[in-house]
Amino acid sequence: MHAFDYNDAAQAIAASVTQIELAVREAQPAVEELGALIEAMAVGLAELRALGTGGSDSVVEEASRAVLENRLLQLEQHVRGSIVQLQFYDRLVQHLHHVGNYLDGAAEQLCNPRDGNADAWEGLRSVLRERLITDAQRELLDAMIPPPGRIQSTGVHALDEHAARGSIELF
Amino acid sequence: MRQMVGVTLKSAGYEVLQACDGREALELAREQAAVDLVITDVNMPNMDGITLVRELRMLPHYRGVPLLVLTTEASVEKKLEGKAAGATGWVVKPFSPERLLATIARIVT
């Protein structure tokens, strides 16, 4: 095996490891937020249960109904918040899927090196970069395996990403 | 993701028909009367969402049905591909249930 194959393979593996670490880090805030929402929902449910065992005084009943309505609205908001946060899993799976494909390509390149070896490794890197879905992921890859030319569009990607997330556009 | 969209729609009173991938969705569309709205992911096994949109638009009874694409893809190129395939709208995840329901209320008559 040529010396540069080891370097390229080592870079590919190291870059993949950092992408996996980033994927886990990016998922962490959503998981924590989900945990907090579930806890809030549990508290809300406990309060509702307590309301159900209250006395039959009409004033108490009226107050209980208002509190009940308020708690139900809060629970509804917590459910909707949970739906937003749970979508981190989708992004995590996609990110890891792209890294997995990259590693498959690297393994294939090591087993069956093609002519124009350096181009083949760059091809793998650029396909992965194109598929990554956040600017942080792309910047990390660029830091681990610098691209051959200067990447002009990083700033634009960052703007696109932050502007687009959660957006709905009707054609 | 399908579960989360289903929970959101059912909470607003919609009847929801689900398919596990694009191929199953297309089979359902061919066998049954048109629904009022289709929401599809892009990355699915067996048939991706953009191919599903393209195939649905070829069915006479789906030519006028709103087709929303739900995706992590924020790139302009991918969005244009979806639009060219016949998508009605492009929703970038994570979607907000309130905004999604408001959009659906606008496009479903």
What is the tens place of the pLDDT at every residue in B1-55? 888 899 899 888 999 999 999 999 999 999 989 999 999 999 888 899 999 999 9
Asked whether A68 and A101 are in contact (CB, 8 A), the reply is: no
Question: Exposure string (b/e) for B2-38, b if CB count within 10 Å is 16 or more?
Answer: bebbebbbeeeeeeeeebebbbbbbeebeeeeebebb
Task: Give the pLDDT confidence score for residue A15 in this predicted structure.
Answer: 92
Tell me the nearest-neighbour CA distance from B83 into chain A, angstroms.
Answer: 7
Task: Give the pLDDT confidence score for residue A154 in this predicted structure.
Answer: 45
Task: Give the pLDDT confidence score for residue A4 in this predicted structure.
Answer: 54
Task: Give the pLDDT confidence score for residue A59 in this predicted structure.
Answer: 63
Question: Exposure string (b/e) for A10-30, b if CB count within 10 Å is 16 or more?
Answer: ebbeebbebbeebbeebeeeb
Average pLDDT for consecutive 10-residue bins of chain A (171 residues)?
69 91 89 86 81 64 81 88 88 90 90 77 91 87 84 45 74 92
Task: Give the pLDDT confidence score for residue A72 in this predicted structure.
Answer: 86
* Chain A, nearest residue to B86 by Cα: A171
Task: Give the pLDDT confidence score for residue B28 in this predicted structure.
Answer: 95
- How many Å apart are CA A4 and CA A2, to the nearest integer? 6
Tell me the nearest-neighbour CA distance from A19 into chain B, angstroms.
Answer: 17
The position carrying tokens 């406990």 is A46
- Pairing relationship of beta strands B38-41 and B67-71 according to DSSP bridges: parallel
Task: Give the pLDDT confidence score for residue A150 in this predicted structure.
Answer: 53
> Model-level pTM?
0.75
Burial of A155 (0-12, 13-18, 19+ CB in 10 A): exposed
Q: What is the pLDDT of residues B48-104, one digit of tens each?
A: 999 999 999 999 999 999 999 998 877 788 899 999 999 999 999 889 999 999 999
Q: Which residues contact A69 (CB under 8 A, 6 or more apart)?
A: none
Closest CA to B87 of B31, B20, B42, B23: B42
Tell me the nearest-neighbour CA distance from A78 into chain B, angstroms.
Answer: 11
- How many Å apart are CA A79 and CA A97, to the nearest integer? 28
* Chain A, nearest residue to B5 by Cα: A83
For A86, the closest of B4, B83, B90 (CB atoms) is B4
Residue B107: list chain A partners with CB under 8 A. 170
Determine the residue among B53, B78, B93, B95 to mutate to test chain A binding: the one whose Cβ has the most chain A Cβ atoms within 10 Å. Answer: B93
